Structure 1
Amino acid sequence: MGWIYRRLNALFFLISIFCMAVTSQAQDVKIELGPDEIGENQTWTITITAANERLSNYGDFPDITGFQKRGTSSSSSTQIINGQISSSQSVTMSYVPTSQGTFTLKPFTINVNGKPISSQGKTIKVGGAVARQQRNDPFRSFFDHDPMDNFFNNDRKTEFLDVKEDAFLALTTDKREVYVGEGFTASLSFYVAEDNRAPLQFHDLGKQLGEILKKLKPENCWEENFNIENINGEPVSLGGKKYTQYKIYQAELYPLNAEPITFPSVGLEMIKYKVAKNPSFFGRNRQEDFKTFYSKPKSIKVRKLPPHPLKDQVAVGDYKLNEKLSTPNLETGQSFSYEFNIYGEGNISAINKPLVEGGENFDFYDPNVTQNINRRNNTVTGGKSFKYFGIPKEPGDYNMKDYFKWIYFNPKTESYDTLTSAKVVHVTGESKKNEHIQANDMGSFYDRINTESNNLKSTASFEWSKIFVNIFILAMLVISAIIIFKK
């Protein structure tokens, strides 16, 4: 029986190696760039996709000359094929062209899940405006054409009636008043009552939505777009009445200044069918017509932040601190890592690095930055991590709160708050201050300053030598000229 166990063990070993190989190959992180050419009314994108692993963090997206960042969106998918499960997560940064022309995205690198992912860049050509593709139409399956319209040739006249619709277009926000930098959710939706009897259908929605958003999106706001891919009906209740909500746009907006945010009235053209007064089984029972639904204008009041020396620099939101220290026990000259992770609800992209003061006791280097943004349940949450590397120069016990602090404004408490470290490090060893001074030695030239005489010396001898040389050159030119003329 021993040979059976040996063969089984070998078989399990081969299977485990095969599974590890498959897993390592299945995990993949890549950067996808948008097309080579777009219209000036289109957006260009950079997408980070992580296959079969969680997209836990990522660095900043590059800036592109000729484009403005319009915000990020995220998505995830899971597939089960023949019992094999595969999943992917992605985050997309949208760029809006500022003018027509040809622009170059230089090669860049983004840290994704702690690993650098590189892209070779691309040349992007921005041309004139183009027509957008039509989105999925959720009404089409409900109000499609009569399949028997062309089966029989019906010449009789049919009278059609215009049925009053019970539907409307509305822009809604979850807040009426916000502080500068405080986020609020704006949604544009089409509502159809449960007892509506007028047949309705979306028409050329993609092209219409592009024009609507040009008017609707405020210029003085940073946008985190939820990027609605498919328009699906969702039952809601308004004033005790049941409706189906078709959400066509949703974004979290963050005011950049104290100017009021105004949303103008926008129109959405729908196909509205007239119905036959005397419907028949084989006849034409409806007639296509159009109606434009208009939203009501809306305004959001923006309040200035309370007085503070850093009110124009601080982030706004509800944040907390998560920190990591590689080791609390150090020796002078020994490097260590410290991670200052800010997370919570707010504009994650606007989070700046904390104030760091190393003083005479530490040397701190510029941090590695990673961030993750989640858009769900009508809110934007996430985190931004700053990983520092430092070197202690003096022995002693040090509170990291004396060196790292991050100030922000919390709109929920309407007050400023500070995230400070709770970590303590113990440093032993000899002082390294003198080594730092030696490393900045200016050289022997400056060492001789104190020993050299500071008496002034005349440079007249140098002036006489210049005059003598000039006379000699002039004499040679005269002699050369005389010889030439004699010949």
Structure 2
Amino acid sequence: MNRLGKIISFIIFNLITVTAINAQDISIELGPDQIALNQSFTITVKVEGETLKSYNKFPDIEGFVKRGTSSSSSTNIFNGQVSRSQSVTQTYIAEREGTVSIPPFTIVVNGKEISSPGKTVRVVAAQQRQQQKRYDPFGSDPFEDFFGRGSGATEFEDIKEDAFFALTTDKDEVYTGEGINTTLAFYVSDDNRAPLQFHDLTTQLTKILKKIRPKNVWEENFSIENIRPEPINLNGKRYSVYKIFQASFFPLNDEDIVFPRVGLEMIKYKVAKNPSFFGQNRKEDFKTFYSKPKTIKVKPLPDHPLKDQVAVGDYELREKINSTKAETGDSFQYEFGVRGTGNIAYINEPAIKKDKNLEIYPPDSEERITRSGVSVMGTKTFNYYIMPKEPGIYNLSDYIQFIYFNPMKKAYDTLQSDYILEVEGSSLKNKSISDASATGLFYDRIENESNEVEQFTDFDWLKTVVNIFIVLALGISLFILFKKS
């Protein structure tokens, strides 16, 4: 090709590049048509020309198992114009060899529906991993001859990163049973110039959690599925936070919780000292970022007869009843709901006072838990059937009470009903389930009866009558027998 042809080719390539940079495009990229059993398949959502603000769930694929997500971003400057590209990748692992069909699917990205036609992927036997030279699409410069630079080696420099890895908690001191919200996150300053990227995050996170998960705690996991940057201001400086794990831990005893120092390995690229337009401008390297160790002081609850049984949290009562007036023998349907912030799963049934005049049957229970921000919130509801046996006025606060410890007030508190029942009708005290005698039910009498062995002398007269009857019967039988003879 002569020099004029090279110039024309360069101009055409330049125009194509500028057009691509100015375009705003959202796309879905699927992995290869064939993978080995020990290789992963990926689905990537890529956004160019705008910020990746939101996206919904990646599809579930029969024959594949999800194995975490990763995200990356890059910024390019060309002829004074800035082009940003962001992507998030869902990784899948094949369950077995064979053919996996990925049906067409849609993902909502930045409020727009982006469709993929799907495809068929062939899964073959696992392949032996070999040390191969990594393919580098930017390893050579097709226009080196045009610019006359030859094949000299590119020098790279390590740019100091403005980023850190941290384990943070919302409290430094808690009571036994009080929640500690714990977050593992990677922080990147808006002023950072060093290119960074996550890698093998699922494997790393599994090892990290084995080290930091405390013993003797109840865990409420916030289940982070998608790692997205969240803006935050620290000491007047803006950062993007990438949360990789978040959970609330509720200590079951007063042993201090110790979080050790853990490391997260990141891909950190070295940048070419003299970048070329089409050449290799960065080189992959690795750096491990370490969190600082942290200890949470756990305090025992103040002395109380129920200190080892009560729930801990900030709760309020939500109650309902179908009626406050009824006849003896009719039932009330009563709902006692404990709502608030704390370990909802640990809430036990309220204390019930037993009374022969007001029978309260064991409840059905239901719980709803929400994990939001840095709190675990929810409601645990107990549904009761209450049957009055005697007319009168009954204050439910005397019969059903929920005692708990409020760490905000640093004191024990009690939730009790505001309902007052008005019962009319005749007494059921002299009646049993099957119209038993006035002495009452067997189970009502059993507590008042003696358990000593007694001799039943009152029945001697009955024995005498029976013996006389037997003698008379025997005499009549003998008389009839001899008469016939």
How would you bin the TM-score normalised by the shorter chain?
0.5 to 0.7
Q: What percent of counterpart residues are identical?
A: 54
Question: Cα RMSD between the aligned structures?
Answer: 2.9
Given the alignment of the two structures, is residue 249 of structure 1 paired with residue 239 of structure 2, yes or no? no
TM superposition outliers: structure 1 runs of 4+ over 6 Å: 143-146
CA distance in 1, matches of 2:139, 2:461: 109
Q: What is residue 52 of structure 1 aligned with on the other side?
A: none
AA aligned to 1:365 is Y
Q: What is residue 138 of structure 1 aligned with on the other side?
A: 72
AA aligned to 1:156 is G
Q: What is residue 326 of structure 2 aligned with on the other side?
A: 330
| Deviation larger for 374-383 or 195-204 | 374-383
Q: What is residue 106 of structure 2 aligned with on the other side?
A: none
CA distance in 2, matches of 1:146, 1:418: 67
- Contact kept, 8 Å, 2:318 with 2:337, in 1: the verdict is yes
Q: SS state of the match for residue 249, structure 1?
A: strand
Given the alignment of the two structures, is residue 425 of structure 1 paired with residue 415 of structure 2, yes or no? no
Choose the corresponding residue for 2:188, options 186, 192, 199. 192
| Deviation larger for 258-267 or 215-224 | 215-224
Q: SS state of the match for residue 164, structure 1?
A: coil
AA aligned to 2:459 is E
CA distance in 2, matches of 1:157, 1:78: 44
TM-score computed with the length of structure 1 as normaliser: 0.62
Choose the corresponding residue for 1:167, options 157, 163, 167. 163
Q: What is the deviation of 1:393?
A: 1.0
Q: What is the deviation of 1:355?
A: 0.5
CA distance in 2, matches of 1:454, 1:135: 92
Structure 2 CA distance for partners of 1:454 and 1:415, relative to 1, 3 Å: farther
Q: What is the deviation of 1:249?
A: 0.9
CA distance in 2, matches of 1:143, 1:169: 22
CA distance in 1, matches of 2:56, 2:287: 40
Summarize the alignment of residues 50-89 of structure 1 with structure 2, pairs less than 5 Å apart. none
Bigger CA radius of gyration: 2
Q: What is residue 284 of structure 1 aligned with on the other side?
A: 280
Q: What is residue 387 of structure 1 aligned with on the other side?
A: 383
- Contact kept, 8 Å, 1:319 with 1:344, in 2: the verdict is yes
- Contact kept, 8 Å, 1:319 with 1:343, in 2: the verdict is yes
Given the alignment of the two structures, is residue 410 of structure 1 paired with residue 406 of structure 2, yes or no? yes
| Deviation larger for 243-252 or 307-316 | 243-252
Q: What is the deviation of 1:324?
A: 1.1
Q: What is the deviation of 1:133?
A: 2.7
Q: What is residue 459 of structure 2 aligned with on the other side?
A: 452
Q: Deviations over 1:17-72 (max 9, x none)?
A: xxxxxxxxxxxxxxxxxxxxxxxxxxxxxxxxxxxxxxxxxxxxxxxxxxxxxxxx
- Contact kept, 8 Å, 2:170 with 2:374, in 1: the verdict is no
Q: What is residue 85 of structure 1 aligned with on the other side?
A: none
Summarize the alignment of residues 363-402 of structure 1 with structure 2, pairs less than 5 Å apart. 363-402=359-398
Choose the corresponding residue for 2:301, options 297, 305, 310. 305
Q: What is the deviation of 1:132?
A: 8.3
The gaps in structure 1 that reach 5 residues or longer are 1-76, 80-130, 456-487
- Contact kept, 8 Å, 2:335 with 2:383, in 1: the verdict is yes
Q: What is the deviation of 1:156?
A: 2.5
Q: Deviations over 1:71-103 (max 9, x none)?
A: xxxxxx999xxxxxxxxxxxxxxxxxxxxxxxx
Q: What is residue 142 of structure 2 aligned with on the other side?
A: 152
Summarize the alignment of residues 202-241 of structure 1 with structure 2, pairs less than 5 Å apart. 202-241=198-237
- Contact kept, 8 Å, 2:257 with 2:295, in 1: the verdict is yes
- Contact kept, 8 Å, 1:395 with 1:427, in 2: the verdict is yes
CA distance in 1, matches of 2:386, 2:461: 43
CA distance in 1, matches of 2:285, 2:373: 37
Q: Deviations over 1:450-485 (max 9, x none)?
A: 843599xxxxxxxxxxxxxxxxxxxxxxxxxxxxxx
Structure 2 CA distance for partners of 1:342 and 1:134, relative to 1, 3 Å: closer
AA aligned to 2:279 is G
TM-score computed with the length of structure 2 as normaliser: 0.62
Q: SS state of the match for residue 137, structure 1?
A: strand
Q: Deviations over 1:286-307 (max 9, x none)?
A: 1111111110000100000000
Q: What is the deviation of 1:149?
A: 4.0
CA distance in 2, matches of 1:292, 1:265: 12
Q: SS state of the match for residue 213, structure 1?
A: helix
Choose the corresponding residue for 2:263, options 259, 267, 276. 267
Q: SS state of the match for residue 431, structure 2?
A: helix
CA distance in 1, matches of 2:173, 2:442: 58
AA aligned to 2:390 is E
Given the alignment of the two structures, is residue 341 of structure 1 paired with residue 337 of structure 2, yes or no? yes
- Contact kept, 8 Å, 1:356 with 1:405, in 2: the verdict is yes
CA distance in 2, matches of 1:449, 1:327: 51
Instruction: Using CA pairs under 8 Å that are at least 6 residues apart, name the structure with larger relative contact order, 1 or 2.
Output: 1
| Deviation larger for 168-177 or 329-338 | 329-338
Structure 2 CA distance for partners of 1:244 and 1:419, relative to 1, 3 Å: same
CA distance in 2, matches of 1:138, 1:315: 43
CA distance in 1, matches of 2:316, 2:358: 25
Q: What is the deviation of 1:148?
A: 4.7
- Contact kept, 8 Å, 2:68 with 2:225, in 1: the verdict is no
Q: Deviations over 1:114-137 (max 9, x none)?
A: xxxxxxxxxxxxxxxxx9834222
The gaps in structure 2 that reach 5 residues or longer are 1-54, 58-64, 75-84, 89-134, 145-150, 444-448, 450-454, 463-485
Aligned length: 325
CA distance in 2, matches of 1:433, 1:377: 54
Q: What is the deviation of 1:373?
A: 1.0
Q: What is the deviation of 1:335?
A: 1.6
CA distance in 2, matches of 1:247, 1:323: 38
- Contact kept, 8 Å, 2:72 with 2:87, in 1: the verdict is no
AA aligned to 1:342 is V
Q: Deviations over 1:393-449 (max 9, x none)?
A: 11111101110111000011100011111111111122212324837449xxx9x96
